[in-house]
């Protein structure tokens, strides 16, 4: 029996909950693009994106019994994606970002900071989209999530507030700060490109 | 007018979904969740059966005790038959009528009237006043 919920995601989830196993496959097909897009923007280019996206859908599958349609399916799914993405970032932060390079004999050699030798070289050669991605990765997590939801997912203030479980006023302020942070990071690069 | 930041954000590329991603999710679900859900069902049966059995036994006991104490119970008093009490308890219809008539013959006095009557006792009179004079 097909559920008649106005939200397609919720309708599929309710069908799946009612025992229709193929509804879950439809749910994956309908939301896989969203999962990859959000994870890519939250954690940056990362080899684990596919694993995290799979994990997100596994969580949806496991929530089959306990799922209660309180809002849109996507609101709930965004939360799963953000939780997974932010956990991944935190896990990576605990790992050493750099290790000393080793020579052919496996002996660590002294680290040479090439960026310090030629500070402007990297920025001029870098692709602008890489710079934007790097800037997005630098801003605080909550600002990044809000900006991703607004700019890339097209959510309005109320919807963002619902996903992030904050007030609309706080969301507005968060988005303002996110844009300010991005401008602050990217403005010097932009000026350098324009010169 | 769109500002330069919005244009910059638009330049961030989309992450393409790898081919066969949905199949990979299905395979992982079958591998991880399929096995677990069967285990869960097994556990559920093992966990639920003793509870149902215990509830059934408890309900049966309550029903038996209820029947023993209620509909199926013997009277807990001895029936009185004969003897002095038995004789005195037996009254004829005529005797009942006589008792009723003698009870009705008593003139019952209102409480207020009775109090007023005793109040007048100091003046040496126990004569009750007329109903209309009360409270004046």
Q: Where are the domains of chain B?
A: 17-69, 83-133
Residue closest to A155 by CA, chosen among A138, A140, A136, A168: A168
- A105 pLDDT band, cuts 50/70/90, is low
Interface of A with B in 27-46 (CB under 8 A): 28-29, 32-33, 36-37, 39-41
pLDDT of residue A62: 93
A26 alpha carbon, distance to own chain's centre: 23
A137 alpha carbon, distance to own chain's centre: 9
pLDDT of residue A188: 86
Q: Percent of chain A at pLDDT above 70?
A: 81
Dihedral angle at the C-alpha atoms of A27, A28, A34, A35, nearest 10 degrees?
130
Side-chain half-sphere exposure of A63, counting CA atoms within 13 A: 16
What is the rounded CA–CA span in Å between residue A150 and residue A29?
23
Cβ-based contacts of A147 with chain B (< 8 Å): 9
- B35 pLDDT band, cuts 50/70/90, is very low
Please state which of the four CATH numbers 3.40.50.1100, 2.40.110.10, 1.10.10.10, 1.10.3300.10 is assigned to the domain occupying A127-195.
1.10.10.10
What is the rounded CA–CA span in Å between residue B21 and residue B23?
5
**What is the least distance, in Å, from the CA of B58 to any CA of chain A?**
30
Delimiting residues of CATH 1.10.10.10 domain(s) in chain A: 127-195
Reduced to 3 states (helix: H, G, I; strand: E, B; else coil), residue A5 is coil
| Residue in chain A lying closest to B31 (CA) | A58
* ipTM topping 0.95: no
| CB-based contact, A172 to chain B, within 8 Å | no
Q: Which residue is listed with tokens 């556990």?
A: B43
Side-chain half-sphere exposure of B71, counting CA atoms within 13 A: 3
pLDDT of residue B109: 58
What count of other Cβ atoms lies within 10 Å of the Cβ of residue A168?
14
- Subunit contact A54:B28, Cβ cutoff 8 A: yes
Delimiting residues of CATH 1.10.1740.10 domain(s) in chain A: 1-96
Cβ-based contacts of A184 with chain B (< 8 Å): none
Residue pair B32/A58 in contact by the 8 Å Cβ criterion: yes
Here the tokens at position A13 are 């989830």
| CB-based contact, B5 to chain A, within 8 Å | yes
Residue B95 above 50 pLDDT?
yes
- Subunit contact A58:B29, Cβ cutoff 8 A: yes
pTM above 0.90, yes or no: no
Return the CATH number of the domain spanning residue range A1-96.
1.10.1740.10
pLDDT of residue B115: 62
């Amino acid at each position: 029996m097909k559920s008649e919920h106005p939200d397609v995601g919720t309708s599929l989830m309710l069908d799946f909950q009612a025992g229709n196993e193929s509804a879950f496959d439809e749910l994956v097909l309908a939301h896989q693009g969203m999962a990859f897009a959000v994870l890519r923007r939250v954690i940056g280019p990362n080899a684990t994106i596919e694993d995290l996206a799979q994990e997100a859908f596994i969580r949806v599958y496991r929530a089959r019994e306990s799922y209660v349609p309180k809002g849109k399916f996507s609101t709930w799914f965004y939360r799963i994606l953000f939780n997974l993405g932010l956990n991944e970032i935190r896990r990576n932060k605990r790992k050493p970002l750099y290790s000393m390079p080793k020579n052919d004999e496996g002996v660590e050699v002294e680290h040479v900071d090439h960026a310090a030798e030629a500070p402007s070289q990297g920025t001029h050669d870098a692709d602008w989209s890489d710079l934007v991605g790097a800037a997005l990765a630098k801003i605080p997590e909550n600002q990044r999530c809000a900006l991703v939801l607004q700019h890339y997912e097209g959510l309005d203030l109320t919807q963002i507030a619902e996903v992030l479980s904050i007030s609309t006023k706080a969301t507005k302020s968060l988005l303002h700060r996110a844009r300010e942070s991005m401008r602050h990071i990217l403005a010097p690069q932009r000026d350098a490109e324009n010169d | 007018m769109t500002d330069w930041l919005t244009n910059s954000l638009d330049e961030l590329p989309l992450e393409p979904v790898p081919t066969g991603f949905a199949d990979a999710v299905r395979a992982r679900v079958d591998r991880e969740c399929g096995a677990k859900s069967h285990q869960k069902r097994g556990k559920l049966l093992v966990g639920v059966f003793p509870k149902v059995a215990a509830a059934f036994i408890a309900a049966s006991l309550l029903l038996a005790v209820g029947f023993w104490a209620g509909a199926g119970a013997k009277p807990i008093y001895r029936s009185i038959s004969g003897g002095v009490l038995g004789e005195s308890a037996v009254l004829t219809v005529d005797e009942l009528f006589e008792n009723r008539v003698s009870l009705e013959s008593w003139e019952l006095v209102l409480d207020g009237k009775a109090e007023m009557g005793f109040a007048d006792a100091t003046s040496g009179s126990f004569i009750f006043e007329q109903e209309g004079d009360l409270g004046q």
